[in-house]
């Protein structure tokens, strides 16, 4: 079984996971603001499920 030599940092982990973020099937349109956004994330104008998030 492979064992890592040292702990991977948060930035390395994030760089590895960054390629999975924006697939075409994960883009939705907010009903209230009509903006495109990634599912389960707020829009650029800070709306989530029709409510303004500060």
Q: Where are the domains of the chain?
A: 22-54
pLDDT of 10 reads: 94
The predicted pLDDT at position 11 comes to: 94
Count of beta carbons in the 10 Å neighbourhood of residue 53: 10
pLDDT of residue 24: 65
Summarize the confidence of residues 22-37 as an average pLDDT.
78
Is the pTM above the cut of 0.85? no
| Mean of pLDDT over the chain | 82
Residue 43 has what pLDDT? 84
Judged against a pLDDT cut of 90, whether residue 20 lies above it is answered with no
User: What pLDDT does residue 37 have?
Assistant: 83
């Amino acid at each position: 079984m492979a064992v890592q030599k040292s702990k991977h940092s948060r930035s390395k982990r994030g760089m590895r996971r960054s390629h999975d973020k924006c697939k075409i099937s994960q883009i939705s349109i907010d009903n209230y603001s009509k903006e495109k956004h990634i599912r389960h994330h707020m829009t650029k104008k800070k709306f989530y499920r029709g409510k303004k998030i500060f």
